[in-house]
Each structure stands twice: as structure tokens, then as C-alpha cells.
Amino acid sequence: MSDKVILLVEDNPDDEALTLRALKKNNIQNEVVIAHDGVEALDYLFGTGAYAGRNVSILPSVALLDLKLPKIDGLEVLKQIRTDERTKLLPVVILTSSKEEQDLINGYKLGANSYIRKPVDFSQFIEAVRQLGLYWLLLNEAAPVGNR
């Protein structure tokens, strides 16, 4: 379980800290790669920019994607993930504050695997992260690497 990487795309340092805390509280000790904007997230996934030379065949088990991001927003990141052959099948969970219908619809249209709204109540958030980790890191079987 612990060799599986989680990609957290989050620009808000508070939310980053809280998400990491929630993961820790649930004893999820996987490596968490943090991208602070859309460009960084895409750089990591495609081995460009700061991540030039990274072995891109190693994909995260799940990407937790915020929608409101500097430079390139979450939906655009999702679109590029789904367009590229290498990342087409990557599990993407939208983790955002918004519960605007339009965001939900666009998120699913672009091929999000799940959509979770961050609750204000931190206890609820911990519970959400627990279930998320349980599902995507333990229960879910990712697509084999060769077929990606």
C-alpha cells in the first residue's frame, strides 16, 4: 500500500496541511506528491518543467484535484489528463469547495472518477479522507500499466 503515490493538487496551504493531517489521522502513510497549481500537476504527470526526467510510467494511484487553481484550473488539468494516452486511465477524484451544478456536470463530463465536496466540519473531512483512502488505495484495482 505504501508504495502507491497520491497526487494532491491544492493551492491553499491550509487545505494542504489539513488534508495531510486527515491522511495521517487515518494512518495513510503513502507518499503524497503536492502540486500547487495546474502547471505543476501536469509537469509531474508528464515529466516536464521541474519534474523533467521523472519516470512518467510510474503513475499515482489517485489524483486529488482541486478545481480552483492558479494558472491552469482543475477542469483544464483533468481535460489534459484524459487527452493524453499515458494518463487517460488515471483515477481522478475532484476534491473541492464548490457544489455548483455546473462544476459537477463539467467534472463528470471530462471524465472525473469521483466528486467530493470538502465539508467545513473537519471531523466530516477526516471521515471523507478515510473512505477515499480505503477505496482508491485498497479496494480499487488500477488499470495495468502496460495498457495505459
Partner 1 sequence: MRPFRDLPIKHKLTWLGVLTSASALILACAVFVAYDVRNFYDDMVRGAATQAKIIGYNSAATILFIDPHTATETLGALSTEPNIIAAGIYTRDSKLFASYTAAGSISTVKASLPVSFTEATDGHRFKGTYLELWQPIVFEGRAIGTIMIQTSLDAMRVRLFQYIAIACLVLLISTLGSILVSLWFQRRISRPILHLAATAESVSRDKDFSVRATTESHDEIGQLVGTFNDMLSRIQEQNQQLEKSRDELEQRVIERTAQLEAANKELEAFSYSVSHDLRAPLRSIDGFSQAVLEDYNDKLGAEGQADLRRVRAATQRMGQLIDDMLDLSRVTRAKLSREEVDLSALARSIGTELQKAEPKRQVEFTVVEGVLAEADPRLLRIVLENLLRNAWKFTGKHPEAKIEFGVLRNNGGPAYFVRDDGAGFDMTYANKLFGAFQRLHAMTEFNGTGVGLATVQRIINRHGGRVWADSEVEKGATFYFTL
For residue 28, the cross-strand partners are: none
> Given the complex with partner 1, which of 36 and 118 has the nearer CB atom?
118
Shortest Å, Cβ 141 to partner 1: 32
The residue (of 26 and 98) whose beta carbon lies closer to partner 1 is: 98
- Edge-to-edge strand order for the sheet containing 62-65? 31-35, 5-9, 62-65, 92-96, 114-117
CB 62 within 8 A of CB 19: no
Give the residue with the Cβ less far from partner 1, 128 or 142: 128
List interacting residues with partner 1 (CB under 8 A). 12, 14-15, 18, 21, 67-68, 96-101, 118-123, 125
Q: How far is the CB of 113 from partner 1 (least distance, A)?
A: 21
CB count, 10 Å around CB of 15? 17
Judged by beta carbon, residue 12 or residue 30, the one nearer partner 1 is 12
Could you give the CA distance from residue 67 to residue 49 in angstroms, rounded to a whole number?
21
Q: How far is the CB of 123 from partner 1 (least distance, A)?
A: 7
Q: How far, in Å, are 18, 20, 133 from residue 126 at the CA level? A: 9, 10, 10
* Nearest distance, CB of residue 129 and partner 1, angstroms: 11
